[in-house]
Amino acid sequence: MLLWGGGLPVMIDGVCVGAIGVSGGLVAEDIACAKAALAVYGLA
């Protein structure tokens, strides 16, 4: 598995079931947006 700035894995019960990627800002901003999106679905 590879991670880029702004990309985070989607983990359910310890299993990687996908990923979310955000691009357009600074790496820290992209990661914050990706974390927020995961939190909306209770996956953070």
CB-count burial class (<10 Å; 0-12, 13-18, 19+) for 5: middle
First to last CA, the chain: 19
pLDDT given at position 38: 96
pLDDT at 6: 87
pLDDT on residue 20 = 93
Q: Residue 2's pLDDT is what?
A: 64
pLDDT single digits (tens) 1-44: 666 688 899 999 999 999 999 999 999 999 999 999 999 999 98
The residue ranges of every structural domain in the chain are 7-40
18 in Cβ contact with 30 (< 8 Å): no
What was the pLDDT predicted at 3? Answer: 62
